């Protein structure tokens, strides 16, 4: 058992850090061109948005641009907004869904009106100061940006390994599925890391082609060192655990305050009464601390 004074300092530090850092999610669904693709991309965007809002617990931190609203002007304005409000302690996750194209030189993300090209998008990404970034480009031909969008503080995922893989991808469907999948949660801690989500989606893509007896026309890629430590989604079970932990930390803090009040009254109380109350409070504190430790060890 740790000293009862340590958890309060530890929790205060963690809460201060959490209060200082913010997370932002941006989901962009491009045009489908055909009704089957329009429906797929809209479903992917909706699924990702639900997972993002569940994970962040604040709708204002999740931006969804899809359909007619996913114009170059709207995408540019949103990324410029993030560049203005984010700081080095923040994290940003950006998801691009839909079709992409590559003519051998230039990659373009297909959106309503003028497309946005890879170089322009890279400039917008590089202007965002967030210290932890995730960019998932689930479009066809997305592998064309593997080198130009890579950055030391960024995990970059593409649905294809090159600009030459131009067929409509399946990766976006499985990535969206991973955000709410117990199966994707490999270590069963209620949190989906980028690495877990990628491995789940990569495996599902491969299985889908193999099961149909088709040659795979997409090969997902991941670059970046932080994929294993970047939690991209929290499952309902983890949120319940987090809520329980917050309640217990509140109880712990209240007990510590009661102990301090009791100690300030030591001269006014009979020694036996004082020691009896102190023993009861310390025992209750130890039990709450044990519950907190058990939850943290299970994560």
Nearest to 154 by CA among 68, 207, 222, 212: 222
Domain map of the chain by residue range?
21-234, 238-298
Q: How confident is the model at residue 296 (pLDDT cuts 50, 70, 90)?
A: low
Q: What pLDDT was estimated at residue 188?
A: 85
Residue 269 DSSP SS3: coil
**Average pLDDT estimate for 74-93:** 97
Q: Quick one: pLDDT at residue 233?
A: 96
Q: Is the pLDDT of residue 7 over 60?
A: no
Fold observed for domain 21-234? Rossmann fold (3.40.50)
Angle between helices 5-20 and 236-264 (to 10 degrees): 130
Residue 246, pLDDT score: 76
pLDDT tens-digit map of 103-144? 999 999 999 999 999 999 999 999 999 999 999 999 999 999
100-102 sheet: strands from edge to edge: 100-102, 107-109, 116-117
With a cut of 50, say whether residue 5 has pLDDT above it.
Answer: no
Greatest alpha-carbon span in the chain:
86
For residue 223, how many C-alpha atoms fall within 13 Å in the half-sphere facing its CB? 17
Is residue 192 within 8 Å of residue 232, measured between CB atoms? yes
Taking only the tens place, the pLDDT of each residue in 32-46 is 999 999 999 999 999
The mean pLDDT value for 169-184 works out to 97
Q: Read off the pLDDT of each residue in 68-77 and give the average, rounded to a whole number.
A: 97
Give residue 17's pLDDT: 40
pLDDT (tens digit per residue) in 108-117: 999 999 999 9
- The model carries a pTM of 0.78
Over the stretch 192-244, which tens digit does the pLDDT of each residue have? 999 999 999 999 999 999 999 999 999 999 999 999 999 999 998 777 677 77
Residues 268-287 have pLDDT tens digits of 999 889 999 999 999 998 89
């Amino acid at each position: 058992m740790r000293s009862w004074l340590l958890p309060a300092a530890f929790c205060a530090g963690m809460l201060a850090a959490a209060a200082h850092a913010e997370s932002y999610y941006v989901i962009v669904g491009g045009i489908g061109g055909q009704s089957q693709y329009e429906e797929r991309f809209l479903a992917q965007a909706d699924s990702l948005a639900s997972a993002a809002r569940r994970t962040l617990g604040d709708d204002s931190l999740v931006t969804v641009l899809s359909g007619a609203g996913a114009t170059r002007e709207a995408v540019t304005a949103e990324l410029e907004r993030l560049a203005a409000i984010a700081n080095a302690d923040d994290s940003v996750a950006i998801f691009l869904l839909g079709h992409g194209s590559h003519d051998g030189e230039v990659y373009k993300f297909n959106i309503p009106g003028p497309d946005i090209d890879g170089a322009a998008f890279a400039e917008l990404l590089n202007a965002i100061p967030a210290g932890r970034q995730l960019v998932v480009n689930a479009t066809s031909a997305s592998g064309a940006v593997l080198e130009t969008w890579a950055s030391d503080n960024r995990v970059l995922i593409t649905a294809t390994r090159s600009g030459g893989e131009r067929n409509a991808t399946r990766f976006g469907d499985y990535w969206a599925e991973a955000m709410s999948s117990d199966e994707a949660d490999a270590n069963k801690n209620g949190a989906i890391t980028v690495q877990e989500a990628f491995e789940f989606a990569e495996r599902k893509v491969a299985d889908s082609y193999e099961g149909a007896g088709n040659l795979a026309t997409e090969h997902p890629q991941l670059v970046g060192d932080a994929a294993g430590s970047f939690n991209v989604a929290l499952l309902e079970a983890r949120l319940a655990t987090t809520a329980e932990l917050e309640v217990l930390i509140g109880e712990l803090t209240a007990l510590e305050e009661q102990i301090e009040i009791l100690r300030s009254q030591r001269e006014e109380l009979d020694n036996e009464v004082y020691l009896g109350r102190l023993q009861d409070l310390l025992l209750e504190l130890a039990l709450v601390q044990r519950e907190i430790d058990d939850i943290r060890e299970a994560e």
